[in-house]
Structure 1
Amino acid sequence: MERAIYTKDDIIAKATEIADMISATEEVEFFKQAEAKIHENQKLREKMASLKSLQKQAVNFQHYGKESALKMVEEKIEKIETELDEMPIVQQFKQSQTDVNEILQMVATAISNKVTDNILEETGGDLLRGETGAQVQNSTPGSC
Protein backbone atom coordinates (compact mmCIF):
# COMPACT_ATOMS: atom_id res chain seq x y z
CA MET A 1 0.00 0.00 0.00
CA GLU A 2 1.52 3.25 -1.15
CA ARG A 3 1.36 6.34 1.05
CA ALA A 4 -0.10 9.58 -0.21
CA ILE A 5 2.31 12.40 -0.98
CA TYR A 6 1.36 15.69 0.64
CA THR A 7 2.36 19.24 -0.25
CA LYS A 8 3.37 21.98 2.14
CA ASP A 9 -0.01 23.59 1.47
CA ASP A 10 -1.77 20.37 2.58
CA ILE A 11 0.25 20.38 5.78
CA ILE A 12 -0.45 24.06 6.47
CA ALA A 13 -4.17 23.42 5.96
CA LYS A 14 -4.05 20.60 8.55
CA ALA A 15 -1.99 22.78 10.91
CA THR A 16 -4.63 25.51 10.60
CA GLU A 17 -7.29 22.94 11.48
CA ILE A 18 -5.29 21.86 14.55
CA ALA A 19 -4.78 25.51 15.52
CA ASP A 20 -8.55 26.03 15.37
CA MET A 21 -9.00 22.97 17.59
CA ILE A 22 -6.46 24.26 20.11
CA SER A 23 -8.15 27.68 20.08
CA ALA A 24 -11.39 25.95 21.11
CA THR A 25 -9.93 24.23 24.21
CA GLU A 26 -10.86 25.05 27.79
CA GLU A 27 -7.26 26.15 28.39
CA VAL A 28 -7.38 28.81 25.66
CA GLU A 29 -10.83 29.92 26.79
CA PHE A 30 -9.53 30.35 30.35
CA PHE A 31 -6.49 32.27 29.00
CA LYS A 32 -8.76 34.70 27.13
CA GLN A 33 -10.92 35.24 30.22
CA ALA A 34 -7.86 35.79 32.44
CA GLU A 35 -6.41 38.27 29.96
CA ALA A 36 -9.71 40.18 29.82
CA LYS A 37 -9.81 40.35 33.64
CA ILE A 38 -6.28 41.75 33.66
CA HIS A 39 -7.21 44.51 31.22
CA GLU A 40 -10.30 45.36 33.30
CA ASN A 41 -8.37 45.59 36.57
CA GLN A 42 -7.53 49.25 37.27
CA LYS A 43 -5.12 48.52 40.14
CA LEU A 44 -3.18 46.09 37.98
CA ARG A 45 -3.05 48.51 35.04
CA GLU A 46 -1.67 51.24 37.32
CA LYS A 47 1.03 48.91 38.66
CA MET A 48 1.94 47.90 35.10
CA ALA A 49 2.22 51.57 34.05
CA SER A 50 4.46 52.29 37.06
CA LEU A 51 6.57 49.27 36.23
CA LYS A 52 7.00 50.37 32.62
CA SER A 53 7.99 53.87 33.72
CA LEU A 54 10.50 52.55 36.26
CA GLN A 55 12.00 50.22 33.67
CA LYS A 56 12.57 53.18 31.33
CA GLN A 57 14.22 55.09 34.19
CA ALA A 58 16.42 52.08 34.94
CA VAL A 59 17.62 51.98 31.32
CA ASN A 60 18.46 55.70 31.45
CA PHE A 61 20.26 55.44 34.80
CA GLN A 62 22.24 52.48 33.54
CA HIS A 63 23.14 54.33 30.34
CA TYR A 64 24.40 57.35 32.26
CA GLY A 65 26.19 55.29 34.92
CA LYS A 66 24.05 56.50 37.83
CA GLU A 67 24.55 53.41 39.97
CA SER A 68 22.85 54.52 43.20
CA ALA A 69 19.77 55.81 41.36
CA LEU A 70 19.70 52.59 39.32
CA LYS A 71 19.81 50.51 42.49
CA MET A 72 16.87 52.41 43.98
CA VAL A 73 14.80 52.04 40.82
CA GLU A 74 15.64 48.33 40.55
CA GLU A 75 14.41 47.83 44.14
CA LYS A 76 11.14 49.59 43.28
CA ILE A 77 10.79 47.43 40.15
CA GLU A 78 11.33 44.29 42.21
CA LYS A 79 8.73 45.41 44.76
CA ILE A 80 6.09 46.04 42.07
CA GLU A 81 6.90 42.74 40.31
CA THR A 82 6.43 40.93 43.64
CA GLU A 83 3.12 42.72 44.25
CA LEU A 84 1.95 41.78 40.75
CA ASP A 85 3.02 38.15 41.16
CA GLU A 86 1.06 37.92 44.42
CA MET A 87 -2.19 39.04 42.77
CA PRO A 88 -4.47 36.02 42.15
CA ILE A 89 -5.49 37.38 38.75
CA VAL A 90 -1.84 37.47 37.63
CA GLN A 91 -1.24 33.97 38.99
CA GLN A 92 -4.27 32.71 37.05
CA PHE A 93 -3.08 34.43 33.89
CA LYS A 94 0.44 33.01 34.19
CA GLN A 95 -0.97 29.52 34.86
CA SER A 96 -3.23 29.80 31.82
CA GLN A 97 -0.22 30.81 29.69
CA THR A 98 1.65 27.77 30.96
CA ASP A 99 -1.32 25.50 30.20
CA VAL A 100 -1.66 26.77 26.62
CA ASN A 101 2.11 26.49 26.06
CA GLU A 102 2.00 22.89 27.33
CA ILE A 103 -0.65 22.03 24.73
CA LEU A 104 1.43 23.62 21.97
CA GLN A 105 4.56 21.77 23.14
CA MET A 106 2.61 18.52 23.37
CA VAL A 107 1.42 18.89 19.76
CA ALA A 108 4.92 19.76 18.51
CA THR A 109 6.41 16.77 20.33
CA ALA A 110 3.70 14.40 19.07
CA ILE A 111 4.29 15.52 15.48
CA SER A 112 8.07 15.26 15.78
CA ASN A 113 7.91 11.79 17.36
CA LYS A 114 5.45 10.50 14.74
CA VAL A 115 7.56 11.80 11.84
CA THR A 116 10.64 10.13 13.32
CA ASP A 117 8.79 6.85 13.88
CA ASN A 118 7.42 6.90 10.31
CA ILE A 119 10.90 7.46 8.88
CA LEU A 120 12.32 4.60 10.93
CA GLU A 121 9.50 2.22 9.98
CA GLU A 122 9.54 3.15 6.28
CA THR A 123 13.28 2.63 6.01
CA GLY A 124 13.15 -0.73 7.80
CA GLY A 125 14.84 0.76 10.82
CA ASP A 126 14.84 -0.14 14.47
CA LEU A 127 12.36 1.89 16.54
CA LEU A 128 13.88 0.79 19.84
CA ARG A 129 17.38 1.89 18.88
CA GLY A 130 16.16 4.90 16.88
CA GLU A 131 18.14 3.87 13.79
CA THR A 132 17.01 4.15 10.19
CA GLY A 133 17.20 1.17 7.84
CA ALA A 134 20.47 2.50 6.38
CA GLN A 135 22.04 2.56 9.85
CA VAL A 136 20.77 -0.92 10.68
CA GLN A 137 22.13 -2.39 7.41
CA ASN A 138 25.49 -0.69 7.83
CA SER A 139 25.84 -1.80 11.45
CA THR A 140 25.20 -5.47 10.74
CA PRO A 141 28.33 -7.49 11.50
CA GLY A 142 30.04 -8.83 8.41
CA SER A 143 28.50 -6.37 5.95
CA CYS A 144 31.11 -4.75 3.76
Structure 2
Amino acid sequence: MLESEPFELDDEVKEALAEVIQLLNNSQVFKEYKAIELKVEGHQGLVSLVEEIKARQKDAVQFAHYGKPVAEKEAIKKADYLTKEFDQHALVIRYREKLREANDVLQHLTKRLEFQFNEQLGTQLYHYLKEHTLDINESKDVTK
Protein backbone atom coordinates (compact mmCIF):
# COMPACT_ATOMS: atom_id res chain seq x y z
CA MET A 1 0.00 0.00 0.00
CA LEU A 2 1.35 3.41 -0.95
CA GLU A 3 1.50 6.07 1.69
CA SER A 4 0.98 9.59 0.52
CA GLU A 5 3.53 12.09 1.66
CA PRO A 6 2.31 15.34 3.17
CA PHE A 7 2.04 18.06 0.56
CA GLU A 8 4.29 21.02 1.29
CA LEU A 9 4.04 24.36 -0.44
CA ASP A 10 7.26 26.21 -1.09
CA ASP A 11 7.69 29.62 0.52
CA GLU A 12 6.96 31.57 -2.67
CA VAL A 13 3.63 29.80 -3.12
CA LYS A 14 2.77 30.26 0.56
CA GLU A 15 3.43 34.00 0.29
CA ALA A 16 1.36 34.32 -2.88
CA LEU A 17 -1.48 32.36 -1.31
CA ALA A 18 -1.41 34.53 1.82
CA GLU A 19 -1.56 37.63 -0.38
CA VAL A 20 -4.56 36.29 -2.33
CA ILE A 21 -6.36 35.40 0.91
CA GLN A 22 -5.68 38.88 2.30
CA LEU A 23 -6.99 40.49 -0.90
CA LEU A 24 -10.12 38.36 -0.76
CA ASN A 25 -10.71 39.13 2.92
CA ASN A 26 -10.35 42.85 2.22
CA SER A 27 -12.71 42.81 -0.76
CA GLN A 28 -16.15 44.37 -0.40
CA VAL A 29 -17.87 41.11 -1.36
CA PHE A 30 -16.23 39.13 1.44
CA LYS A 31 -16.62 41.90 4.00
CA GLU A 32 -20.36 42.02 3.29
CA TYR A 33 -20.59 38.23 3.43
CA LYS A 34 -18.80 38.05 6.78
CA ALA A 35 -20.93 40.85 8.23
CA ILE A 36 -24.22 39.16 7.30
CA GLU A 37 -22.88 35.80 8.47
CA LEU A 38 -22.22 37.26 11.93
CA LYS A 39 -25.73 38.73 12.02
CA VAL A 40 -27.28 35.36 11.14
CA GLU A 41 -25.17 33.47 13.68
CA GLY A 42 -26.00 36.03 16.37
CA HIS A 43 -29.73 36.23 15.67
CA GLN A 44 -31.33 34.38 18.57
CA GLY A 45 -34.59 33.89 16.68
CA LEU A 46 -32.81 32.10 13.83
CA VAL A 47 -30.67 30.06 16.21
CA SER A 48 -33.82 28.93 18.05
CA LEU A 49 -35.54 28.16 14.77
CA VAL A 50 -32.65 25.94 13.65
CA GLU A 51 -32.70 24.11 16.99
CA GLU A 52 -36.46 23.60 16.68
CA ILE A 53 -36.11 22.26 13.12
CA LYS A 54 -33.44 19.80 14.25
CA ALA A 55 -35.61 18.68 17.17
CA ARG A 56 -38.62 18.05 14.91
CA GLN A 57 -36.45 16.13 12.43
CA LYS A 58 -35.06 14.04 15.27
CA ASP A 59 -38.62 13.40 16.48
CA ALA A 60 -39.62 12.24 12.99
CA VAL A 61 -36.74 9.75 12.90
CA GLN A 62 -37.64 8.40 16.34
CA PHE A 63 -41.33 8.12 15.46
CA ALA A 64 -40.42 6.23 12.29
CA HIS A 65 -38.16 3.92 14.27
CA TYR A 66 -40.92 3.12 16.76
CA GLY A 67 -43.55 2.62 14.06
CA LYS A 68 -45.65 5.71 14.72
CA PRO A 69 -46.44 6.95 11.19
CA VAL A 70 -49.02 9.58 12.21
CA ALA A 71 -46.65 11.21 14.71
CA GLU A 72 -43.82 10.93 12.19
CA LYS A 73 -45.89 12.70 9.53
CA GLU A 74 -46.81 15.46 11.98
CA ALA A 75 -43.17 15.97 13.00
CA ILE A 76 -42.12 16.14 9.33
CA LYS A 77 -44.90 18.61 8.60
CA LYS A 78 -43.81 20.81 11.51
CA ALA A 79 -40.14 20.62 10.47
CA ASP A 80 -41.07 21.57 6.89
CA TYR A 81 -43.13 24.53 8.12
CA LEU A 82 -40.25 25.75 10.29
CA THR A 83 -37.78 25.25 7.44
CA LYS A 84 -39.91 27.41 5.14
CA GLU A 85 -40.10 30.05 7.86
CA PHE A 86 -36.30 29.95 8.16
CA ASP A 87 -35.79 30.10 4.38
CA GLN A 88 -38.07 33.13 4.07
CA HIS A 89 -36.40 35.15 6.81
CA ALA A 90 -34.87 38.37 5.41
CA LEU A 91 -31.45 37.73 7.00
CA VAL A 92 -31.29 34.21 5.59
CA ILE A 93 -32.20 35.46 2.11
CA ARG A 94 -29.56 38.20 2.32
CA TYR A 95 -26.99 35.73 3.69
CA ARG A 96 -27.56 33.36 0.78
CA GLU A 97 -27.24 36.21 -1.72
CA LYS A 98 -23.91 37.26 -0.20
CA LEU A 99 -22.75 33.65 -0.02
CA ARG A 100 -23.55 33.24 -3.72
CA GLU A 101 -21.61 36.42 -4.57
CA ALA A 102 -18.58 35.28 -2.55
CA ASN A 103 -18.76 31.84 -4.16
CA ASP A 104 -18.92 33.42 -7.63
CA VAL A 105 -15.73 35.38 -6.89
CA LEU A 106 -13.97 32.21 -5.71
CA GLN A 107 -15.17 30.23 -8.75
CA HIS A 108 -13.94 32.96 -11.10
CA LEU A 109 -10.57 33.11 -9.35
CA THR A 110 -10.23 29.32 -9.42
CA LYS A 111 -11.01 29.16 -13.15
CA ARG A 112 -8.51 31.95 -13.91
CA LEU A 113 -5.79 30.23 -11.90
CA GLU A 114 -6.54 26.88 -13.52
CA PHE A 115 -6.45 28.41 -17.01
CA GLN A 116 -3.17 30.23 -16.38
CA PHE A 117 -1.60 27.17 -14.79
CA ASN A 118 -2.63 24.90 -17.67
CA GLU A 119 -1.46 27.42 -20.25
CA GLN A 120 1.93 27.77 -18.59
CA LEU A 121 2.25 24.01 -18.17
CA GLY A 122 1.36 23.47 -21.83
CA THR A 123 3.97 25.99 -22.94
CA GLN A 124 6.64 24.39 -20.76
CA LEU A 125 5.70 20.92 -21.99
CA TYR A 126 5.84 22.08 -25.61
CA HIS A 127 9.33 23.55 -25.15
CA TYR A 128 10.52 20.49 -23.26
CA LEU A 129 9.30 18.13 -25.97
CA LYS A 130 10.76 20.34 -28.67
CA GLU A 131 14.17 20.23 -26.98
CA HIS A 132 14.16 16.53 -26.05
CA THR A 133 12.76 14.79 -29.12
CA LEU A 134 14.54 13.96 -32.31
CA ASP A 135 13.83 16.10 -35.31
CA ILE A 136 11.79 14.07 -37.83
CA ASN A 137 14.41 14.60 -40.55
CA GLU A 138 17.18 13.42 -38.22
CA SER A 139 15.33 10.25 -37.27
CA LYS A 140 14.71 9.09 -40.89
CA ASP A 141 18.25 8.06 -41.56
CA VAL A 142 19.30 6.39 -38.34
CA THR A 143 21.13 3.46 -40.05
CA LYS A 144 23.71 5.53 -42.01
TM superposition shift of 1:61: 2.8
- Describe how 1:25-64 pairs up with structure 2 within 5 A: 25-64=27-66
Among all aligned residue pairs of Structure 1 and Structure 2, give the percentage whose two residues are the same amino acid: 22
TM-score between the two structures when normalised by the length of structure 2:
0.72
For residues 44 and 58 of structure 1, what CA distance do their matches in structure 2 show? Answer: 21
Gaps of 5+ in 2: 1-7, 134-138
Deviation digits for residues 96-140 of structure 1, max 9, x if unmatched? Answer: 111111112112111111111112222338xxxxxxx68xx9xxx
> Considering only aligned residues, what root-mean-square deviation do their CA atoms show, in Å?
2.8
Amino acid at match of 1:12: K
Tell me which of the two structures has the higher relative contact order, counting C-alpha pairs closer than 8 angstroms and 6 or more residues apart. Answer: 2
Q: Stretches of 4+ moved more than 4 A in 1?
A: none
1:112–1:46 distance in 2 versus 1, CA, 3 Å: same
In the alignment, what sits opposite 1:3? Answer: none
Gaps of 5+ in 1: 1-6, 126-132, 138-142
Q: Please tell me the residue identity of whatever aligns with 1:88.
A: A
Cα drift, residue 15 of structure 1: 1.1
Q: Secondary structure at the match of 2:126?
A: coil
Instruction: Work out the number of aligned pairs and report it.
Output: 126
Q: Which has the larger radius of gyration?
A: 2
Tell me the residue number matched to 2:116: 114
